[in-house]
Structure 1
Amino acid sequence: MAYPDNLLSRGESVVLHKHPHWKVLILPTVAFVVFIGGGFALAAILRNWSHHGIAWIAIAVVAVIGLILLTLVPFIRWRTEHFVITNFHVFFRTGILHRREHQIPLGHIQNMETSVPFWGRLLGYGSLIVESAADQPLEFENVASLAKVQSTLNQLIMDDRNRYNVGSDGVPNAAPRGRSDQPDQTYPPQQ
């Protein structure tokens, strides 16, 4: 499912779009195998029982409810959770029935912090904590390819500050671009 283009402003384009790391689908996959395999095994064991028709219906009902709650819902939740970086904003959107969304302009990001557990180092995921000028820190968990996300976000923040000629402290520089005492800098440098 692509991130909706109608949420982007004019001239804004998606640079990076991620769902949570695939490790969040391990338990739903195990649940799927257990419910399918266990249901068929239990049905085979009870086939010689005198009320096997009722038992099979009960097994099917429990298996369907279990598959919906423990497999289908987590998969849909994974699919509908978006971590999107554009050339102007960082978006986080989650929710199936009740949607929650955060939007942080790149120019308002003050600090980024990463947290990578032991398994995250092995499987390639971690948490990204973004502090903005106005809000409390937001933590994005289970971000896949965290180093790539962080470097892309750093580059976009620097591009945004260069575009608006804003210093690292968030204050506009005193000398606007185009003054004769400063060389005109283009980004990236052209050869």
Structure 2
Amino acid sequence: MPPPARSIFDPRVERFLIADEGEVVVDEVAKHWAAIVKPVLLLVASVPLLMLSFVVPPQAWWLPAVLAIGLAVWSMWRILQAQMDRFVITNMRVFRVHGILSQHIATMPLSRILDISLHRPVLGRIFNYGHFVFESAAQIQGLSEIRYVGSPNERDLTIQRVIARAGLRGPVNRQTGAPMGGPMPPATAGAGTRPSPQVAPASEERPEAPGPNDTMPIPRL
């Protein structure tokens, strides 16, 4: 069966996988359509702006024409940027691929993910998108915030499942909040016990002080 056809906007993330180490894609996230709403509206607005060049005085026809062309080029560039942006979840890491002429790749191993915050604005709750904020041991440029992620709740659960399956986080005790089955922290390993005093060995003899009736030997000259 032939592979599915790919568009020219597909960054082909399979090229960046560590295939010989068994890395596979768990989820590939493209930008939600809400990310291109603003560029599309500006692209539509460039059409009437271009029409103004036919009604303004002949000496100033070029001004609305240049503005309309610049606005249209900027809008199409932003749309293409959103189409080429991918956030990828694998069984070993998360990484982001974005860029048109020059491509940028930001990678974060699963072991460095400390916390994931999900922000869903009002429109995001209506149209089912949100923004992810990653907190890691070392903040990586390009992966600190992933915007316009579709189905954010499902993607958050996917990342949590991958981290759990990798053995990086175990089940948590609901009463103490500590991981279950792990080693006892050093600060609480000896809680509630007092150190026993040091006792000298029984075989050790201590010197006795001389009594009042004892005589001191006189050395001979």
TM-score for the superposition, normalised by structure 1 = 0.70
Pairs within 5 Å for 1:1-191 = 1-10=10-19, 11-40=22-51, 42-43=52-53, 45=55, 51=58, 55=61, 59-69=64-74, 71-132=75-136, 134-136=137-139, 138-161=144-167, 166-168=168-170
Code of the residue aligned with 2:12 in structure 1: it is Y
**CA-to-aligned-CA distance 1:12-50 (integer Å, 9 cap, x gap):** 22221122222121111111111113323x25535xx6x
SS in 2 for 1:27: helix
Higher Cα radius of gyration: 2
CA RMSD of aligned residues (A): 2.9
If asked which structure has higher relative contact order (CA below 8 Å, sep 6+), I would say 1
Cα distance in 1 between the residues matched to 2:160 and 2:153? 10
- Higher fraction of helix: 1
Report the alpha carbon displacement of residue 83 of structure 1 after superposing the two structures with TM: 0.9
Code of the residue aligned with 2:70 in structure 1: it is I
Stretches of structure 2 that go unaligned for 5 or more consecutive residues are: 1-9, 171-177, 184-221
| Maintained 8 Å contact 1:43/1:59 | yes
Cα distance in 2 between the residues matched to 1:151 and 1:60? 49
Percent of matched pairs sharing the same residue = 25
TM-score for the superposition, normalised by structure 2 = 0.62
Report the alpha carbon displacement of residue 99 of structure 1 after superposing the two structures with TM: 3.9
Cα distance in 2 between the residues matched to 1:129 and 1:30? 27
Code of the residue aligned with 1:24 in structure 2: it is A
